[in-house]
Amino acid sequence: MIAVSVNNQQKLCDKQKSLAALLQEWGFESGKVAVAVNGDFVPRSRYGEHRLRDGDQLDVLAPVQGG
Amino acid sequence: MSVDRRDSWSLYGKSFTSRLLIGSALYPSPQVMCEAILASGAEIITVGLRRQSPEQGGGEAFWQQIKSLGKTLLPNTAGCHTVKEAVTLAQMSRELFETDWLKLEVVGDDYNLQPDPIATIEAAQQLSKMGFKVFPYCTDDLVVCQRLRDAGCEVLMPWGSPIGTGRGLMNPYNLQTIRERLPSLPLIVDAGIGKPSHAVQAMELGYDGILLNTAVAQASQPVTMAEAFRDALSAGRKAYRAGAMPARQTASPSTPTLGMPFWHQ
């Protein structure tokens, strides 16, 4: 297991699992969020192959009101 | 000379009739937001991206409301402080909103949310090369505006005054200078507009459009204020196209002086 930060919340996860699987496990719908890992954008097309590392910091963003 | 009644304009090759761009934040309710946006006649809406937990619905309700309006979306990079943050957020935004349009904001000072001119220019250079259609929020500095144009921006958005202040045009001279020096570039006053009269002033200076949010969203009656801004932009634009008379230092009578009664030599 590894520990990662998801939107500033600590989560333990299986390092063998893909980002796609983890997002689903955490309740995010992949078509409705955008993801950055350690400040770098990860395109949706790479969720299936992307593996997280211990200490990774994820930003999972969704549309909000803006000015 | 008559003024052509059709007065559309284009941004990055896309044609619009309304010259108002409106934000989607700070409204008292989602319903009022939708009603105000529709009442404003705006065809372009600004939106943002933030962390959302699945328990909050992941922003889905808001997203569905915005999509139902059928407007062109202009996602922002609000809150970014560095080039890296702005570029990453832009990439996330492009994927999620399915548009390469981007309102670029890189904050340089948290106190007045003043854009960082150096980081904004650098981010604009990078983003333009990445295919983004950049709408940079910038200060009313001519040279910064020229550098942003050189960076590939086909529209510029200098501020009227700091975001959310509603103080109107702090420096009309600077804004007018930018207009005169960059005559063919679409210019939008973004931020600081508090009242319709501020919008009229900007449009009379020859600005092509106005981007605002708080002035409508925080009005006592947002829908009515949205209509007021719609009308103000129309009035200001017509006045600019009609050509205002030059201001004079001294009085000049309107009624003919020839044939003046009660005058005897």
User: What is the domain partition of chain B in residue ranges?
Assistant: 17-52+61-241
Residue B97 pLDDT: 95
pLDDT of B61 reads: 86
For residues A41 and A50, what is the distance between their CA atoms, to the nearest angstrom?
A: 12
Contacts of B53 in chain A (CB under 8 A): 7, 27
Q: Is B8 exposed, middle or buried (0-12, 13-18, 19+ CB in 10 A)?
A: exposed
Number of residues written out for chain B? 265
User: What's the mean pLDDT in A8-17?
Assistant: 96
- CB contact (8 A) between residue A34 and residue B96: yes
pLDDT at position B40 is: 98
pLDDT of residue B250: 96
A67 lies in some domain: no
Q: Which amino acid is at A60?
A: V
User: Is 0.90 topped by the overall pTM?
Assistant: yes
Provide the pLDDT for residue B1: 44
CA distance B31 to A33: 24
CB contacts under 8 A, B 172-201 vs A, are none
User: Is the Cβ of B55 closer than 8 Å to some Cβ of chain A?
Assistant: yes
Distance from CA of B155 to the nearest CA of A (A): 17
Contact: A66, B24; criterion CB under 8 Å? yes
Domain count across chain A: 1
For residue B55, what pLDDT is reported? 79
Residue A43 identity (one-letter amino acid) = P
Q: Does residue A25 belong to any structural domain of this protein?
A: yes
| Minimum-distance CB partner of B88 among A26, A28, A41 | A41
Provide the residue range defining the domain that includes A43.
2-61
Between CA A24 and CA A31 the distance in angstroms is 11
Residue A66 is assigned to a structural domain of this protein: no
Query: Beta strand A2-6 with A9-13: parallel, antiparallel or unpaired?
Result: antiparallel
Active site residues of B: 103
How far is the alpha carbon of A16 from chain B, nearest alpha carbon, in Å? 23
pLDDT of residue B18: 97
Number of alpha carbons in the 13 Å side-chain half-sphere of residue B98: 5
The CATH number covering residue A12 comes to 3.10.20.30
Residue A18 lies in a domain: yes
Residues of A in contact with B113 (CB under 8 A): none
Contact (Cβ atoms closer than 8 angstroms) between residue B212 and residue B25: no
In chain B (265 residues long), the average pLDDT of successive 10-residue segments reads 70 97 96 97 97 78 92 97 98 97 97 96 98 98 98 98 96 98 97 97 98 97 98 97 95 91 87
Domain annotation covers residue A47: yes
* Chain B residues within an 8 Å CB radius of A40: 88
Average pLDDT score, chain A: 95
CATH class, B17-52+61-241 region: alpha beta
Strands A34-37 and A40-42: antiparallel
Chain A residues contacting B, CB < 8 Å?
7-8, 26-29, 32-36, 39-41, 43-44, 59-67
Q: Two tokens at B195?
A: 């009242």
